[in-house]
């Protein structure tokens, strides 16, 4: 019996020392993390220490609670019992939430778990103080009872041990921080190519409109490494991998054009394009003699195109004229961000998940949610330093959006907040378990559906192709054939009750060998900018008009393809035809030669275009005849596609965006015999 009693005392006393030492040290590191308004090296080491201490104290504290409960089960003191129960409840709370954060990280839709973890920790320490205070009072009054129960008390040595463990923890964090700062990787602010060319001006990125802090170059590692982003953001990463943004530099058409620009004006001129198509090459200082542009296969810029960090490190829109008019501010890396060691990489990822404070701040800049953010690359002009002519306006989706009904930037609706932005259409909310998903488990899609169908075909990505076609056919454009009217339609002059009239419209028809006049209305009712948009000199949008009789014999057509896959030149096109200073067509998309357009037809958002067509009904046509009108779109015209894609050429898919049909009777005109 004596052996049994004496063995329990050191076990319980040891548990007190271990449990409370680890708890106080863990609490102090947690407090540092909580009050810190930064994510410096010391704070990050504190997070690692806090995690380690939290894991270490779980088992001893549960064991301590068990032994303490056994020892005090018959000791009836309400204040001690109540505070002890509260202690255990709060301990369970911050332990469970702590392990959840350790395993899953801080998930956006579960932010309340962190709040509960912090609040339960504070309440635990308050309850602990109350419990100790009650214990001290009880100890003074019931010293003999406590001695009989073998309930250990806090001694001076206990406090010294707790203080020593806490100070040792803080000292270890300081030493680790100093050591890491001494050996940490230094990011370069020098250009990747020697003797960098400043012939376009003092801003190293000209003729691109891009700027960085103090006009310094950015280390590639601070722009690339999208594969590391995907390790946590798997859903978003998968969407981005299929997107045109990811393929912006590897697009074979772009590669052909950028090589043409290098040949004509030198590699420094490619900065004009690469600010949007290959930001890694631009910002790292590759675009100078001796460097490599984004069109070169195997380079980081070519592989990643518009990388995750290319967009998420933009902190300001400099102006609304486009040509990559953004300010790039590199993010603040976490510990071991450049380590090749897998264990250290896991620690880096753990830190980022456990304390995404800096990550959210760096990657979630409010400018990302604004339509003007998209204007940085989806608005374009050419200046004299590129075309040796003068300022020429090109695509401008942002201004087109501001003039649309969706922006609400009009006198009668300017105060409305119910706008439809670029992000609402091209980055719709989709279901996802991504850590950044909202409370409804939705994230902004990074597929960026638009009108590019040939890149998914080249990549054999049927899912992305389906997404793009579905996006284009969402009833944003509408085609309507207006029923023709006749003044000579026979009418029944007999008065009848309108309630029994079966047809509200007069039957329409055409006579054989009569000229049929058809009116077609093409409406842009759902596109938030002009239709078509983007590089409309490369794409083809047109109206296919086909008339057949009841035996499907062709009566008339416009806008059909010939045997060489070219569109009928008589077709009604929506496109632009840029020209150079000599009036020659700039058909290779060599925009540095462009000074204007000889033809341009688009439909503004919320507006319609009326097309008048006519044809002769042949004498052999059999009634009824069917008129079909289809709005078609092809990303690249055939001539350019064959030149630009070269050995990668494939027939570019043609998408039927909208269509309508109408059936008309054909009659024989009766001859009136004279007597």
> Are 67 and 123 members of one domain?
yes
511 and 442 in a common domain? no
Q: Does residue 316 share a domain with residue 387?
A: yes
Task: Reply yes or no on whether the pLDDT at 463 is more than 70.
Answer: yes
CA distance 396 to 389: 20
Average pLDDT over every residue of 282-308 = 96
Rounded CA-CA distance 546/536 in Å is 25
Per 3-state DSSP, the chain is made up of helix, strand and coil in percentages (nearest 5) of: 45, 15, 40
Co-location of 176 and 232 in the same domain: no
For 505-532, how does the pLDDT look when each residue is reduced to its tens digit (9 = 90+)? 556 899 999 999 999 999 999 999 999 9
Claim to verify: residue 480 and residue 414 sit in the same structural domain: no
Residue 80: inside a domain, yes or no?
yes
CA atoms of 318 and 537, how far apart (whole Å): 27
Maximum separation of any 2 CA atoms in the chain, in Å? 144
Q: Print the domain residue range for 160.
A: 2-183
Residue 5 confidence (pLDDT): 43
52 burial level (CB within 10 Å; 0-12, 13-18, 19+): middle
Is the same domain home to 23 and 94? yes
Is residue 59 scored above 90 in pLDDT? no
As a whole number, the mean pLDDT across the chain is 88
Are residues 178 and 218 both part of a single domain? no
Does residue 476 surpass a pLDDT of 90?
A: yes
570 vs 78 pLDDT, higher one: 570
Cα separation, 465 vs 486, in Å, equals 45
Q: Could you say which of 163, 183, 203 is where a domain stops?
A: 183
Alpha carbons 373 and 403: distance in angstroms, whole number = 17
Distances (CA, A) of 561 to 90, 424, 568, 648, 651: 74, 35, 6, 21, 12
Domain count, the chain: 3
3-state class (DSSP) for residue 424: helix
Residue scoring higher pLDDT (491 or 639) = 639
State residue 590's pLDDT score: 95
Q: Is residue 490 part of a domain?
A: no
Whether residue 259 is found in the same domain as residue 365:
yes
Last residue of a domain, one of 167, 183, 199: 183
Q: Note the pLDDT tens digit of each residue in 362-390.
A: 999 999 999 999 999 999 999 999 999 99
Is residue 453 in a domain? no
On whether residue 192 sits in a domain, the answer given is no
What pLDDT, on a 0 to 100 scale, did the predictor assign at position 6? 43
Distance CA 495, CA 5 (A): 116
Task: Identify whether residues 545 and 416 lie together within a single domain.
Answer: no
Residue 425 CA to residue 446 CA, distance in Å, equals 11
Asked if residue 191 belongs to a domain, the reply is no
> In angstroms, rounded to a whole number, what is the distance separating the alpha carbons of residues 649 and 637?
12
Rounded CA separation 568/560 (Å): 6
Antiparallel, parallel or unpaired: β 477-482 and 515-524: antiparallel
Q: Domain check: are 249 and 398 in the same one?
A: yes
Rounded to whole angstroms, how far apart are CA atoms 229 and 248? 19
Same domain as 14, residue 76: yes
Upstream peptide bond of 487 is cis (omega within 30 degrees of 0): no
Q: In the predicted model, is pLDDT for residue 470 greater than 50? A: yes
Point out the domain boundary residue: 183, 203, 228: 183
Q: What is the CATH number of the domain that holds 590?
A: 2.60.40.2550
Position 189 in a domain: no
The mean per-residue pLDDT over the stretch 463-474 comes to 95
Residue 457 falls within a domain, yes or no? no
Q: Is residue 206 part of a domain?
A: no
Shared domain for 427 and 545, answered yes or no, is: no
Before 207, cis peptide (omega within 30)?
Answer: yes
pTM over 0.95: no
């Amino acid at each position: 019996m004596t052996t049994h009693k004496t063995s329990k005392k050191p076990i319980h006393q040891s548990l007190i020392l271990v449990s409370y030492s680890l708890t106080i040290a863990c609490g102090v590191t947690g407090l540092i993390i909580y009050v810190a308004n930064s994510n410096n090296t010391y704070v990050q080491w504190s997070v690692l220490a806090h995690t380690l201490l939290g894991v270490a104290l779980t088992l001893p504290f549960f064991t301590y609670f068990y032994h303490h409960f056994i020892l005090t089960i018959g000791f009836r003191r309400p204040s001690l019992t109540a505070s002890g129960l509260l202690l255990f409840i709060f301990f369970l709370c911050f332990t469970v939430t702590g392990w959840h954060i350790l395993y899953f990280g801080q998930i956006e839709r579960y932010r309340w778990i962190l709040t509960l973890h912090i609040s339960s920790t504070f309440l635990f320490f308050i309850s602990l103080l109350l419990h100790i205070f009650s214990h001290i009072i009880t100890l003074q009054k019931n010293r003999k009872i406590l001695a009989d129960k073998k309930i250990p008390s806090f001694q001076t040595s206990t406090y010294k041990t707790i203080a020593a463990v806490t100070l040792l923890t803080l000292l270890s964090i300081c030493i680790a921080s100093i050591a890491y700062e001494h050996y940490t990787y230094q990011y370069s602010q020098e250009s990747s190519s020697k003797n960098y060319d400043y012939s376009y001006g003092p801003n190293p990125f000209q003729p691109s409109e891009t700027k960085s802090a103090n006009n310094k170059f950015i280390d590639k590692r601070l722009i690339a490494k999208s594969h590391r982003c995907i390790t946590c953001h798997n859903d978003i990463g998968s969407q981005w991998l299929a997107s045109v943004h990811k393929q912006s530099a590897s697009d074979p058409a772009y590669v052909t054009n950028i090589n043409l620009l290098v040949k004509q004006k030198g590699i420094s001129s490619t900065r004009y394009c690469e600010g949007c198509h290959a930001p890694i090459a631009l910002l790292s200082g590759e675009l100078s003699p001796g460097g490599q542009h984004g069109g070169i296969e195997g380079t980081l810029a070519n592989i990643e195109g518009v990388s995750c960090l290319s967009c998420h490190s933009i902190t300001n829109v400099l102006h609304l004229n486009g040509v990559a008019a953004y300010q790039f501010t590199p993010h603040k890396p976490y510990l071991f961000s450049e380590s090749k060691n897998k264990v250290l990489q896991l620690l880096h990822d753990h830190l980022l998940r456990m304390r995404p404070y800096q990550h959210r701040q760096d990657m979630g800049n409010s400018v990302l949610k604004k339509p003007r953010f998209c204007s940085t690359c989806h608005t374009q002009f050419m200046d004299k330093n590129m075309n040796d002519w003068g300022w020429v306006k090109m695509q401008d989706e942002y201004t087109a959006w501001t003039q649309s009904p969706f922006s609400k930037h009009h006198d009668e609706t300017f105060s409305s907040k119910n706008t439809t932005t670029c992000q609402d259409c091209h980055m719709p909310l989709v279901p996802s378990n991504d850590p950044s998903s909202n409370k409804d488990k939705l994230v902004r899609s990074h597929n960026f559906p638009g009108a590019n169908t040939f890149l998914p075909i080249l990549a054999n990505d049927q899912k992305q192709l389906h997404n793009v076609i579905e996006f284009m056919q969402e009833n944003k454009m509408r085609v309507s054939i207006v029923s023709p009217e006749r003044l000579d339609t026979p009418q029944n002059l007999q008065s009848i009750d309108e309630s029994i009239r079966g047809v509200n419209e007069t039957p329409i028809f055409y006579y054989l060998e009569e000229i049929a006049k058809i009116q077609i209305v093409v409406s842009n009712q759902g596109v938030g900018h002009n239709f078509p948009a983007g590089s409309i000199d490369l794409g083809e949008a047109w109206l296919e008009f086909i008339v057949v009789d009841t035996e499907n014999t062709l009566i008339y057509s416009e806008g059909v393809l010939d045997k060489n896959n070219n569109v009928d030149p008589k077709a009604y096109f929506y496109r632009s035809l840029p020209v150079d200073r000599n009036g020659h067509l700039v058909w290779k998309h060599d925009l540095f030669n462009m000074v204007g357009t000889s033809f341009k037809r688009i439909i503004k958002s919320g507006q319609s275009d009326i097309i008048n067509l006519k044809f002769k009904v042949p004498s052999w046509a059999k009634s009824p005849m069917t008129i079909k009108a289809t709005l078609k779109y092809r990303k690249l015209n055939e001539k350019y596609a064959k030149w630009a894609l070269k050995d990668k050429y494939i027939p570019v898919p043609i998408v039927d965006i909208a269509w309508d049909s109408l059936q008309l009777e054909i009659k024989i005109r009766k001859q009136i015999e004279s007597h």
